[in-house]
Structure 1
Amino acid sequence: MIAIYRFLALMFAFSALANCGVVYRGSKWEADVFERRGLRARQASSSSSSSSSSSASSSSSSASSSSGSSDVPAFQYGTADPNYPGVQATGPNGDTNPDEPSLNTPINQTSVARLASLNSVDDWCTFGPLDNTQTLGDVEDRTVAWCTKPRNNARVIPDGTVTAAHFVKTPLYVQVMARGDFTKIGFQEGDTGGELDPHGATGKGNPVGGNVTSNVTGKDVFYEEWMNYVGSTIMCFRICIAGSDEAPPKTECQHTLDEMGCWNIMPGNYEDNMFETCDADAAYPPGIYVSDGSTSSFQQYATGIWTDNGQIKTYTNGVSTQTTPTTAMSTPSSSNCQTVSTIANGIKSIIPTSSSSSASGSSGSSKGGAAAASSSGSSGDSSSGSSSDSSHNGGVASVRPAMVPAMVAAAAVLLGSLVL
C-alpha cells in the first residue's frame, strides 16, 4: 500500500507542476488540430510507477454494477476532511447565477443560469446545451444548467427525459449517474457529448461562470472541484465534498481524461429503469490502476499546437502506440440503497430549437436528466466560475516568478516519492 501512496504523491506533484503552467493542454478552439472530439479522438495509456501499464480488465469489475470488486483493495484515502484545502469554492459566482441555490424559482426554459446542485436522486442538475443547433463539444463554454426541480433560476428537465438515476454519497464526493433521452434538453441525436469542469481550456471554466453546490452535509455549500460528463443518452456528475493528503479534490475530481467516458471515470451503477440512493466507498482517482501491488496511470493521447509569446509550438500528450483501458479498474462497494419508483416532476415542456425560443412548462417535483459522454474536455487552473490566475491565457504559456515556489515544492514532492 506504501507504493500506492508514493504513486499518488507523484501524481499530485505532476498536477502541481501542471497548475504552474509547465504543462499546456491547448485551447478548445484548437479541437481540429488536437483531434480530440468524437470518433477522431485517440487515447493512450502510459505506465507511471509500474514497468508495464496494468490492463483495465486484469483486476476489475464491471462499471455497470454497484456490487463492488472483490479482487481489488478498497481505496485507502486517509481521513476525509470537508475543510481540506481546495474543497470549498473560493472563486466568484458566475454573472448569470443567483447568489445562493434555492428551490421553486420561476421556470424559464431559455435561462442562461449556470449554477448546478447535486442534492438527492430527485434534486440534481446537469450542464447542457442552450439549444440543439450544435453538438456539446462545440459549445462547452456556453452550456447552461438543467435541473430536475425548478431551482437556481435554471432550466427544468421535463418529464420523460430521465429513465434512470443513481445518487451516491461517499466520504469524498457525491455523484449522480443517469440514463435517458437528453435530446429533450437540447442534445442532438447521437451526440457523444463532452466534459464540463471548473477549469476549461482558458481557466475560466466550462461553462464560463459555472458553479456547483450540494447540501448533503446539511447545508448548501459551494464546492471547488467537480466534473460533469453528458451526452444524448447518459450523464454522470461528481462533486468533491472532502479531501485528504491521499486524495486531494483535484485528484479525486480529475477532469483531463474526458475521452474515457462515465463508466471509466465515474464507475458505479448505470442500470436503466431504476431510481436509487446509496452510500458508497470512494473510488480510486480517475486514471489510477492498481494490480499485484503495482500502480500505473493512463493519459489521453493528443497532439496540437500552442502559442508562446507569439511563437507557434507543438506538443504531444501520451504515446500513440499504447493501448487505452476499456473499463474502470474497480467499482466501489455500495450500501444502504433505497429505490423510488419515479422522480417525475409533473413538468412537460419543449426545448427551444434556438437560444431565443421559449418553452412552456408547469411547476412540480422532479424527473432529472443528464447524460455522460466520452468526448471533449479541457483543463485549466482557476476556481469555479473565476478567471484564471495561471499562464493559460488564450494559448500563451509562461512560468511566472510567483510560480517558482510552487514548482520547487512540487519538485520536492516528486523527488521524495522517487527516493522513498
Structure 2
Amino acid sequence: MALSALFALSAASYVVAQGGLATFPATPLASKHFAYPSGIPEQAGPEQLARGDQAGYNICNSTTEGPDSKCQTSFVNSIDDFCLWAPISPDSTISNTEGEEVAWCTKKGHGTRLIPAGTLTGVQLLKTPAYIQITGYMDQTKVNMAGDDDGGEMDPHGQDLRGNPIGGLMYSNGFPSNGGNNQTYQQVIEWVNFMGSNSFCLKVCDPAGTNPAGYCQHTLDRIGCAYNAPSNAPDGTFEVCDSDNMDVPGIYTVNGQTFSYSEPPETLGAITTIPYQPRVPASSNCVTYQSTALYTDLLAASAAPSSSSVSSTASGSASSVVVTQSSSGASHAATSTPGASAGPSASVPSSGSGPAPTGSSNGAARMGLSFFGGVVGIAFSILYFA
C-alpha cells in the first residue's frame, strides 16, 4: 500500500480507536525479527485490531502442508524453491483478500500449499547485488485467483503496518551475506510481490545489502511489475541470470538530472500517464532450465493420489536443480534432496546426477523491454492496485 505518510505518524497515533479497537499495532510487522525456525511465533500479527485478525499461522511443518494449509511463512531461495502469496479460496481477487493470502510454494518441506503443476509457464530469476527478483507468467486460476483479476501487491507493511498478508513472514537462503550456507535462512524484512493478469513479480532485498527499503519500497503499488521489478522475462522460458540493480523504484534520470515520482492518491482516479519509462537493468550469465527438471515436487503431487498432507520424507529420492549464489555472485548448479525435517530442504554439491541446464548466454550482457514493456506495459501496470 502507499503508506509513506503513515511513517510520519507519532507513536500516539498507534492507539487511535476505531470501533473500540486500535488501528495500528505497537510494533509494525517490518520491525519484528524472528530467527528461523526456533524464533517463529504461532502468529506474527496476533494483535486484535480494527482491520481484523491474522487469517493463518506462521509455525508451519509437515502437519500443516497440503491444499488446505494456511501457512503465512514464505521463502525465496532459488528458481526451483520459492513461494507466492495467493488466496485461500477459489475465484478470489487480490484486492479483496490481500490481508489473508497464504504461501503457495514450488517445493515440499515448507508446510505450505504447493503451486499446482502447470501453473507456471515461464520464470526468470535475477540475482543482483541488492536483491533477488523472480518474474514470471502463470495460470492464476490454479492458485485461487479469479481469471480476470488484474491483481495487486503484497508487502510487509500494509495499510495498518501489519503487512499484506497480515503477519506474513519471508525468509531466504539465497543471499551472499549468509556465506552461501543454504541451511541458514535469513528473515527478509523488505520484500514485495505483485500478482495479477496471469503474471507475477517477487522481489526480496538482502537485509545486509544496500538500501533494502529503497529497492523493495512499496509505495508504487498501483503501477505494477513494470516499474517495481522491470525485467525482460520471456514467457515459456525458465532461466537464472546475474543482473545489475534496477534504479530505486520511483527514481529516474532525464538528461543527467534525477527526478522522483510519487503515485497520486486513488481519490484522483486512474493513473493515465507516468512521466518516465523504467530502465531494465542489464543481465548476463543466463542459464536456462526445463520446467520439468525444476518443479519435480509439483509434478509428483499432481500424479500422486489426493492427500491432505505428504510426509517430507516421501520426496527424499527426488532431486532437482538448485541455483545458488556464491559470495562472488557466480551461479552454479547443485542437486537438492529434501530431508526428513519439516523445514526447507538443503542443497548439496552436484555429483553430476539430476537435471542439467539446457543453455547459457555465455556471459553476454542482455538488455530488453521491460516485463510489461512500452505502451502496453504501462496499460497493464496501471491496473495494479493493493
User: For residue 20 of structure 1, what is the aligned residue in structure 2?
Assistant: 8
Amino acid at match of 1:338: V
User: For residue 288 of structure 2, what is the aligned residue in structure 1?
Assistant: 339
Amino acid at match of 1:131: S
The answer to whether 1:229 aligns with 2:238 is no
User: For residue 79 of structure 2, what is the aligned residue in structure 1?
Assistant: 121
1:322 is displaced (CA, Å) by 8.1
Aligned with 2:110: secondary structure? coil
Distance 1:142 1:320, change over 3 A: closer
Q: 2:384 aligns with which of 348, 372, 375?
A: 375
User: For residue 68 of structure 1, what is the aligned residue in structure 2?
Assistant: none
The answer (yes or no) to whether the contact 2:41–2:59 under 8 Å persists in 1 is: yes
The answer (yes or no) to whether the contact 1:116–1:126 under 8 Å persists in 2 is: yes
1:344 is displaced (CA, Å) by 2.9
User: For residue 144 of structure 2, what is the aligned residue in structure 1?
Assistant: 186
The answer (yes or no) to whether the contact 2:157–2:164 under 8 Å persists in 1 is: yes
Aligned with 1:264: secondary structure? helix
Aligned with 2:99: secondary structure? helix
The answer to whether 1:146 aligns with 2:74 is no
- CA distance in 1: counterparts of 2:142 and 2:30, whole angstroms: 33
- CA distance in 2: counterparts of 1:191 and 1:183, whole angstroms: 9
- CA distance in 1: counterparts of 2:30 and 2:165, whole angstroms: 19
- CA distance in 2: counterparts of 1:150 and 1:105, whole angstroms: 12
Distance 1:158 1:291, change over 3 A: same
Q: How many residues align?
A: 274
Deviations 1:19-67 (Å, cap 9, x if unpaired)?
A: 1327x9xxxxxxxxxxxxxxxxxxxxxxxxxxxxxxxxxxxxxxxxxxx
Larger RCO of the pair (alpha carbons < 8 Å, separation 6+): 1
Distance 1:119 1:105, change over 3 A: farther
1:107 is displaced (CA, Å) by 4.0
Distance 1:303 1:123, change over 3 A: closer
Deviations 1:187-217 (Å, cap 9, x if unpaired)?
A: 1111111100001111111001101111013
User: For residue 38 of structure 1, what is the aligned residue in structure 2?
Assistant: none
User: For residue 203 of structure 1, what is the aligned residue in structure 2?
Assistant: 161
Distance 1:290 1:89, change over 3 A: farther
The two structures have a TM-score, normalised by structure 1, of: 0.58
Distance 1:321 1:248, change over 3 A: closer
User: For residue 396 of structure 1, what is the aligned residue in structure 2?
Assistant: none
Distance 1:18 1:203, change over 3 A: closer
User: For residue 291 of structure 1, what is the aligned residue in structure 2?
Assistant: 254
- CA distance in 1: counterparts of 2:219 and 2:6, whole angstroms: 12
Q: 2:94 aligns with which of 119, 129, 136?
A: 136
Amino acid at match of 2:285: N
Aligned with 1:183: secondary structure? helix
- CA distance in 2: counterparts of 1:142 and 1:225, whole angstroms: 19
Aligned with 1:278: secondary structure? strand
* Equivalent residue runs for 1:4-403 within 5 Å: 18-21=6-9, 90=33, 93=41, 95=43, 96-99=56-59, 107-217=65-175, 218=181, 219-242=184-207, 247-303=210-266, 323-325=273-275, 327-328=277-278, 330-342=279-291, 343-345=294-296, 346-349=299-302, 374-377=383-386
Distance 1:186 1:347, change over 3 A: farther
The two structures have a TM-score, normalised by structure 2, of: 0.62
The answer (yes or no) to whether the contact 2:90–2:144 under 8 Å persists in 1 is: yes
The answer (yes or no) to whether the contact 2:59–2:73 under 8 Å persists in 1 is: no
1:376 is displaced (CA, Å) by 2.2
The answer (yes or no) to whether the contact 2:91–2:147 under 8 Å persists in 1 is: no
- CA distance in 2: counterparts of 1:87 and 1:333, whole angstroms: 30
Deviations 1:359-413 (Å, cap 9, x if unpaired)?
A: 788966789xxx9975223xxxxxxxxxxxxxxxxxxxxxxxxxxxxxxxxxxxx
- CA distance in 1: counterparts of 2:250 and 2:9, whole angstroms: 21
Identity of aligned residues (%): 34
In structure 2, the gaps of 5 or more residues are 14-28, 35-39, 44-55, 176-180, 322-371, 373-379
The answer (yes or no) to whether the contact 1:267–1:332 under 8 Å persists in 2 is: yes
Aligned with 1:110: secondary structure? coil
- CA distance in 1: counterparts of 2:284 and 2:164, whole angstroms: 33
Aligned with 1:198: secondary structure? coil
Aligned with 1:324: secondary structure? coil
- CA distance in 2: counterparts of 1:118 and 1:138, whole angstroms: 25
- CA distance in 2: counterparts of 1:142 and 1:242, whole angstroms: 25
Distance 1:93 1:252, change over 3 A: farther
Distance 1:221 1:89, change over 3 A: farther
- CA distance in 2: counterparts of 1:197 and 1:162, whole angstroms: 22
The answer (yes or no) to whether the contact 1:105–1:150 under 8 Å persists in 2 is: no
1:326 is displaced (CA, Å) by 6.7
1:179 is displaced (CA, Å) by 0.6
1:327 is displaced (CA, Å) by 3.6
The answer (yes or no) to whether the contact 1:181–1:232 under 8 Å persists in 2 is: no
